[in-house]
Amino acid sequence: MRYWLMKSEPDEASIDHLAHAPKKTLPWTGVRNYQARNFMRDQMQIGDGVLFYHSSCPEPGIAGIAKVCSTAYPDPTQFDPKSDYYDAKSTQETPRWMLVDVKFVKKTPLIPLATLREHAELADMQVLARGNRLSITPVTEAQWRFITEHLV
DNA sequence: GCCAACGTTGGC
DNA sequence: GCCAACGTTGGC
């Protein structure tokens, strides 16, 4: 059992989209970074906790809780020439990009980035590191507990 | 829109 | 394998 923070642009896929999706699940499409892919492919397991983070928006921050609800499988958008996420170098036989499905758990009052930065307990969170751009980052159990017990 | 930080690409 | 150029991310 691990914990993760996953960034999504709310215009693309917000916590509300997840809450209203069929079965309350969405495939985490569009990751095109090897480190983030490797987390999904190699480390995520069904049941892992997810902090659902809204990025590139007026109020960036944690907007809800979700959980991993599938093992990794090829991201179908890499094969679709009409998709923004199409990758001409990827083939069905040797897919380059993998994803997991994520299931809604609950929406939370938005925890802004600035609030996360205020807490010494969270100072080592990878998402808060200077220059961090990774869309999926590991969260420690201590960080997870602090956020879910004190900030939500 | 700016810009720091970082990843990727491709020539050599 | 190096590294400059370029593209992207994402907060502000």
pLDDT tens-place string over residues A57-95 = 999 999 999 999 999 999 999 999 888 899 988 888 889
Confidence of residue A152 (pLDDT cuts 50, 70, 90): confident
User: A23: Cβ under 7 Å from strand B?
Assistant: no
- pLDDT score for A36: 96
A35 contact to strand B (CB, 7 A limit):
yes
* Selection from A80, A52, A74 nearest residue A137 by Cα: A52
SS3 of residue A107 by DSSP? strand
Domain layout of chain A by residue ranges:
3-144
Residue A131: nearest nucleotide (C-alpha to C1'): B5
CA distance A7 to A50: 10
Query: Pseudo-torsion of CA A141, A107, A103, A136, nearest 10°?
Result: -50
Residue A46 has pLDDT above 90, yes or no: yes
Which CATH number applies to A3-144?
3.10.590.10
Judge whether residue A29 has pLDDT over 90. Answer: yes
**CA to C1' distance (Å), from A33 to C8:** 11
Kindly report the pTM of this predicted structure: 0.94
| pLDDT tens digits, A115-144 | 999 999 999 999 999 889 999 999 999 999
Nucleotide closest in space to A114 (CA vs C1'): C11
Place of tokens 């009052």: A109
